[in-house]
């Protein structure tokens, strides 16, 4: 870890985003610091470490390759060259129970940015997937440190398969290049996603708007799904997402179940 952190990072831009943000009534550009590394264990780990060392909000850590990229609950995240792997350090003014909103906001922002940049139609799958066709294009991992009732900082990690070939993708995954037939520019994509996240950031004050927008682009709305929980499996029609981020499923015997974790599989075609 130490060795990785000692690798020189290249600041590719201090002020990448062009949209002015309002802060304390004064319109000004919040600086965005992007640190690019050739190789890291995980951009989330490095961003977390920087947050603990008081790095400012909107520090972005990008790596060409992650050797220990991770997903939820200890899942591995394959991160070879050709994908976009990055983490944003945020200090949102959020109570802990609202932290999930970041993930849903980021999914919508990423979906829009990818669509604008590439014309590919990306859909969302509960809870944290970006999908293209019916394969996984990317995922989001939010990690955080809390202080009392509040989020002290959050690390918003986003991984997207961009230019990898089939051999570099795990089963069930897809890259943009495999669908578009084109090589995509990672830097332009990163810029578009960061811009989109920054311009929608104020929506954190409007949970229903975030969840509504996410649900409008959900691929299993309303399809038959199976959610595997640590000690249970729930099967039924996915009917909605609640404001607390959980998925509402109508089971075969017409009962309503609310699930707030687990892996989802779509059963309908
Ligand atoms: C996720 O986890 O989907 C969140 C992935 C977040 C990755 C980013 S990259 C930047 C930042 N730094 C990190 O270390 N992480 C974040 P989850 O829902 O748990 O899905 C993980 C599962 O997706 C794995 O168990 C595999 O089945 C599958 N998978 C692994 N690598 C993949 C890839 N490159 N593309 C598509 N699916 C993959």
Q: Kindly give the residue spans of alpha helices, DSSP state H, lying in 77-166.
A: 100-118
Q: In whole angstroms, what is the distance from residue 51 CA to residue 95 CA?
A: 18
Q: Mean of the pLDDT values across residues 60-79?
A: 97
Cβ–Cβ under 8 Å, residues 226 and 267: yes
pLDDT of 25 strictly over 60: no
Cα of 53 vs its chain's centroid, Å = 23
* Residue 31 pLDDT: 77
* Residue 269 pLDDT: 54
Ligand 1, atom nearest to 75 Cα: 25
Q: Which residue has the tokens 């947050």?
A: 51
Q: Ligand 1 pocket, 46 CB below 6 A?
A: no
Cβ–Cβ under 8 Å, residues 7 and 38: yes
65, 77, 228, best to mutate for ligand 1 pocket (most atoms within 8 Å of CB): 77
Q: In whole angstroms, what is the distance from residue 228 CA to residue 76 CA?
A: 18
Report the nearest-CA residue for atom 9 of ligand 1.
159
Ligand 1, atom nearest to 164 Cα: 34
The mean-pLDDT minimum among 29-38, 87-96, 136-145, 176-185 falls in: 29-38
Q: Mean of the pLDDT values across residues 69-90?
A: 97
Residue 149 phi/psi, 5° resolution? -85, -5
pTM reported for the whole predicted model:
0.91
Cβ–Cβ under 8 Å, residues 83 and 162: yes
pLDDT of 109 strictly over 90: yes
35, 40, 71, best to mutate for ligand 1 pocket (most atoms within 8 Å of CB): 71
Q: Decide which of 154 and 18 is more confident.
A: 154
Q: Ligand 1 pocket, 78 CB below 6 A?
A: yes
Q: Kindly give the residue spans of alpha helices, DSSP state H, lying in the chain.
A: 2-6, 43-52, 100-118, 176-180, 186-200, 207-216
CA distances (Å), origin 2, targets 68, 87, 147, 184, 265 = 14, 18, 26, 32, 39
Q: Please give the distance, rounded to the nearest whole angstrom, from the Cα atom of residue 172 to the centre of ligand 1.
A: 12
* Residue 162 pLDDT: 98
pLDDT in tens, 127-147: 999 999 989 999 999 999 999
pLDDT in tens, 186-240: 999 999 999 999 999 999 999 999 999 999 999 999 999 999 998 999 999 999 9
Q: Ligand 1 pocket, 164 CB below 6 A?
A: no
Q: In whole angstroms, what is the distance from residue 90 CA to residue 174 CA?
A: 29
* Residue 30 pLDDT: 62
* Residue 22 pLDDT: 33
Could you tell me where the beta strands, DSSP code E, fall in the chain? 10-13, 21-23, 26-28, 33-40, 59-66, 84-90, 122-125, 129-132, 135-147, 150-160, 224-229, 232-241, 247-251, 256-259, 263-266
Q: Please give the distance, rounded to the nearest whole angstrom, from the Cα atom of residue 138 to the centre of ligand 1.
A: 7
Q: In whole angstroms, what is the distance from residue 155 CA to residue 113 CA?
A: 20
Q: In whole angstroms, what is the distance from residue 81 CA to residue 104 CA?
A: 26
Q: Ligand 1 pocket, 196 CB below 6 A?
A: no
Q: Ligand 1 pocket, 159 CB below 6 A?
A: yes
pLDDT of 12 strictly over 90: no
Nearest to 156 by CA among 80, 85, 63, 212: 85
pLDDT of 241 strictly over 90: yes
């Amino acid at each position: 870890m130490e060795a990785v952190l000692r690798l020189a990072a290249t600041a590719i831009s201090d002020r990448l985003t062009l949209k002015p943000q309002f802060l304390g009534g004064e319109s000004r550009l919040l600086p965005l610091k992007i640190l690019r590394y050739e190789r890291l264990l995980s951009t989330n780990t490095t961003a977390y470490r920087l947050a603990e060392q008081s790095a400012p909000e909107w520090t972005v850590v990008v790596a060409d390759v992650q050797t220990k990229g991770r997903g939820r609950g200890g899942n591995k995240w394959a991160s070879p060259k050709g994908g976009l792997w990055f983490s944003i350090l945020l200090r949102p003014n959020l109570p802990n129970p609202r932290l999930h909103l970041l993930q849903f906001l980021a999914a919508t922002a990423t979906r829009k940015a990818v669509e604008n940049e590439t014309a590919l139609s990306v859909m969302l799958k509960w809870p944290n997937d970006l999908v293209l066709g019916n394969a996984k294009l990317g995922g989001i991992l939010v990690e955080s440190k809390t202080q009392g009732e509040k989020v002290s900082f959050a690390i918003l990690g986003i991984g997207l398969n961009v230019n990898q070939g089939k051999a570099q993708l795990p089963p069930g995954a897809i890259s943009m290049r495999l669908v578009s037939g084109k090589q995509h520019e990672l830097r332009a994509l990163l810029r578009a996603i960061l811009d989109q996240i920054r311009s929608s950031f104020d929506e954190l004050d409007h949970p229903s708007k975030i969840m509504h927008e996410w649900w409008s682009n959900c691929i299993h709305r309303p399809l038959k799904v199976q959610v595997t929980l640590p000690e249970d499996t729930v099967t039924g029609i996915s009917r909605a997402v609640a404001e607390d981020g959980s998925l509402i499923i109508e089971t075969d015997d017409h009962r309503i179940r609310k699930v707030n974790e687990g892996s989802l599989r779509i059963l309908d075609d």
